[in-house]
Chain A
């Protein structure tokens, strides 16, 4: 079993829709949770960063962490074609050095 599970998709939605992306994990020691966006043939770009449980909002993006369920989510409101990319969840243990990534979900927003 992988430490971090993420549905690879692909996920295709119409422009303006609300998108929900999710990851589950097995290591209860994870304390830091991140979402990265990766365009084709580019490096991952940090979108959201959350410590422990709770919600964090930044513009059209909301990240949620539920440590009791070992489940994290990223919501994208008013989705745009420019949001089409692969979204990677990543986690780390407090004080640890390495990030553990999910497989990534490939998202397409259709105009």
Chain B
């Protein structure tokens, strides 16, 4: 049973560029959440997607946007990158029918903005 997968594993961008990160949820899961984890900090909630719509959003600017596809996979897009966007970006999946509280995380995408 494949767990949550994310691509790419690492990414280097320069300030002002745009980036797209991808996530495939665990088999049987239909809900995808995205988190940002700065070095030495706990993950911070960005937003969650269910039924191809953004259901809840954390305290992140509009530069952060997302999408969910009919197969439940998801993308996180960040525009106009800032140095402070350098972090580990985590995708977590869950199943709405089984309770949204149990979220399983992928390995993350490490983004470095120069």
Residues of A within 8 A of B (CB): 4, 6, 8, 32, 34, 36, 41-46, 49, 88, 90, 92, 94-104
Contacts and interface: CB of A to CB of B under 8 A. Distances in A.
Interface stretch (B14-22, B40-48, B61-69, B70-78): B40-48
14 contacts: A8-B40, A32-B101, A42-B107, A42-B108, A43-B107, A43-B108, A92-B100, A95-B100, A97-B31, A97-B55, A100-B45, A101-B43, A102-B42, A104-B40
A44 B105 CA distance: 6
7 nearest A-B pairs in the assembled complex, by CB-CB distance:
A101-B42, A98-B45, A43-B105, A32-B101, A97-B56, A97-B48, A43-B107
Given A97-B33, A97-B48, A104-B42, A49 B90 contact: no
Nearest to B99: A32
B102 interface: yes
A99 B58 contact: no
A99 B43 contact: yes
Contacts of B105: 36, 43-46
A90 B44 CA distance: 11
Interface of B: 4, 31, 33, 35, 40-45, 48, 55-56, 58, 90, 92, 100-108, 110
Contacts of A32: 101
A103 to B, nearest CB: 5
A89 B111 CA distance: 24
A42 B33 CA distance: 17
A38 to B, nearest CB: 9
Contacts of A88: 42-43
A44 B90 contact: yes
Contacts of A45: 105
B56 A96 contact: yes
